[in-house]
Amino acid sequence: MLWVKTLHIVFIASWFAGLFYLPRIYVNLAQAKDAASRDTLLGMARRLYRFMTILAIPAVVLGLWLYLGYGIGLGAGNGWMHAKLALVAVLLIYHGICKHYLNQFEAGTVRHSHVFFRWFNEVPVLLMLAVTALVVIKPF
């Protein structure tokens, strides 16, 4: 079970690296002035999104394995697990929203400024902090 936990942590950290960096590429895309820069950044964003999706799948699967393996239920005294699973769902939605914005950049229909994407880039940082605190502290 320790190997499963180790791999889960590695895949989570790797997935988060993508969640941290992809919106940063969006900031640069929103500021791109020429077609060459835009094409380069779009290529980077496509490859990163594909790679981080590949990393997210085993992160979630291994997390479910740990959940089932440790027998942590959703009953009384495990409110932290309810909250953690809800935040993981939010992370998966955020991941999907990243794809939505990638599609908009590809189509040239994005309506948000680089300032929006700077703020959008902070969301996974806050979610990682919240999930980590829930797992370590187990406040409820």
Q: Which parts are annotated binding residues?
A: 8, 84
Q: Which parts are annotated binding residues for heme?
A: 8, 84
- What are 96's two structure tokens? 């999907």
What is the tens place of the pLDDT at every residue in 69-89?
876 655 556 889 889 999 999
**Entry pTM:** 0.93
pLDDT at 1: 87
CB-based contact 45:102 (threshold 8 Å): yes
| CB burial readout 9-43, b (16+ within 10 A) else e | eebbebbbebbebbbebbbbbbebeeeeebeebbe
pLDDT band at residue 30 under the 50/70/90 scheme: very high
Mean pLDDT score across all residues of the chain: 94
